Amino acid sequence: MPSLVVIGAQWGDEGKGKIVDYLAPKAEWVVRFQGGNNAGHTIVAGGVTTKLNLIPSGVLRPDTRCLIAAGVVIDPEVFAAETAKLREAGLDLSPRRLVVDRDAHLVLEYHRLIDAAREEARGANRIGTTGRGIGPAYEDRANRSGVRVAELEALGQLRPRLEELVAERNVYLQAVLRSEFSVDFENVWRAVCKAAELLLPHIGNGSLILDRALRRGERVLFEGAQGSLLDQVHGTFPYVTSSHTISGGVATGCGIGPKHMGHVLGIAKAYSTRVGLGPFPTELHDQLGHRIREAGVEYGTVTGRPRRCGWFDAVGMRRAIRLNGIDSLALTKLDVLSGLSSIKVCTSYRLDGNVLEDVPSLSQDLERVEAEYLELPGWSSDLKDVRSWGQLPVELKAYLEKLSEILECPISIISVGADRQATFVAESASEILAFIR
């Protein structure tokens, strides 16, 4: 099996970085295919914590190469800071090891300003974006005015086009969004010239690289960012991000055919979290929600915002399984639930007395649904010394079995702590085992 697709199955922050790092040692490539530095992937290895926003989570594995594919939007300043930090930590980030696709778009200063000003203008109706300019950069891609990495090779042609673009964006910022800020073109230009110096050695043709690698039978791991319920089209619109976070995004984001996609692994926490605004049917507003937030350190990696916490939502998960064609699930942060006498799983939504077949399309309906729960016995023991699937408490094993039955999806990986050592693969998960052995 040449490829593994790792996808967030909830609203992001499921622990994708950690699982990708775990699965990566034998992968030739780890590929980010969408999103940008709105993502925050945390890896703990040997007591050292590494936080990544743009660079694929395979970077800590010395034999793995990293590709930032065409579907990603790249903020060159973040790229500069992150690569500098990783180099300081002694990692090899040579152009051979880190490739940036020529067709990826750049996030520039005006995107960040427009993101912030638009959120401000929305007031109570804001999305709660990460403020990193991701939405405006994807908008520019869609309206065909965005700046691509390849254009850094033709700065002479880019300059007049960008000058016009900046003037236009300043009018939008000030006249439409009533922002007090505007952008100085020379500043943007300096940033673009610096980006050229930085990115050009890494530039490559991701579609060609991956097609060749996959035809040779090399192992490729596609690393999703954000989560399925934040997908631009299929998520809980309008409280979504601006890219395709689902497995379909691999083909469009990388420029490869869907037949190259192997096992699709959905990553989910044993409970739910959400950052930013938007409906959240299983949200816990009480002391228990607070307890989960503190025990799980549920604070945004990118913005530091406290994450909203709630019970596991099997209705949303069944949707994610379908949207992605998930073959199996990795369930993370089970340790956070230790010590609870019972654990709830939302099995259905009821709206105006009717049980719904799926997550409703309108956010005002999703706000109103009543979550119906199944209550399962919790486990009291601490999981910090658990080092294999066999050592799990019986109640936890029963919980996993029940969840898998409700979801009609096998659970192939579990994780019970932040460190690499705390992740276990089920012996029955032959495709995953073949990828890592």
Residue 229 as a binder of ligand IMP (CB under 6 A): the answer is no
- Nearer CB in complex with ligand IMP: 14/28: 14
Residue 359 as a binder of ligand IMP (CB under 6 A): the answer is no
DSSP characters over 138-152: HHHHHTT-PPBGGGG
Sequence letter at residue 272: S
**Of residues 135-164, those binding ligand IMP (CB under 6 A):** 135
Report helix, strand and coil shares of the chain as percent, to nearest 5.
40, 20, 40
Residue 223 as a binder of ligand IMP (CB under 6 A): the answer is no
Cα distance between residue 220 and residue 215, in whole Å: 11
Least separation in angstroms between CB 1 and ligand IMP? 27
Nearest Cα to Cα of residue 201 among 99, 104, 83, 107: 99
Stretch that binds ligand IMP, among 8-16, 253-261, 342-350, 417-425 (CB under 6 A): 8-16
End-to-end CA distance of the chain: 12
Q: Pairing relation of β-strands 354-355 and 411-415?
A: unpaired
Stretch that binds ligand IMP, among 121-129, 162-170, 261-269, 412-420 (CB under 6 A): 121-129
| CB atoms closer than 10 angstroms to residue 179 | 18
Residue 245 as a binder of ligand IMP (CB under 6 A): the answer is no
Residue 231 as a binder of ligand IMP (CB under 6 A): the answer is no
Residue 400 as a binder of ligand IMP (CB under 6 A): the answer is no
What 3-state class would DSSP assign to 285? coil
Q: Pairing relation of β-strands 48-52 and 41-45?
A: antiparallel
Residue 276 as a binder of ligand IMP (CB under 6 A): the answer is yes
Stretch that binds ligand IMP, among 128-136, 194-202, 334-342, 400-408 (CB under 6 A): 128-136
Residue 332 as a binder of ligand IMP (CB under 6 A): the answer is no
**Residues 132, 112 contacting (CB under 8 angstroms):** yes
Task: Determine whether 13 is an active site residue.
Answer: yes
Least separation in angstroms between CB 151 and ligand IMP? 23
**Residues 429, 264 contacting (CB under 8 angstroms):** no
Question: How many amino acids of this chain bind ligand IMP (CB under 6 A)?
Answer: 21
Is the torsion defined by CA of 86, 336, 406, 389 positive or negative? Answer: positive
Please identify which residue in 5, 134, 166, 221 interacts with ligand IMP, judged by CB under 6 A.
134
Cα distance between residue 252 and residue 333, in whole Å: 31
**Of residues 25-84, those binding ligand IMP (CB under 6 A):** 38-40
- Residues of this chain that interact with ligand IMP (CB under 6 A) are 11-13, 38-40, 127-130, 132, 134-135, 225-226, 230, 239, 241-242, 275-276
Active-site annotation, residues: 13, 41
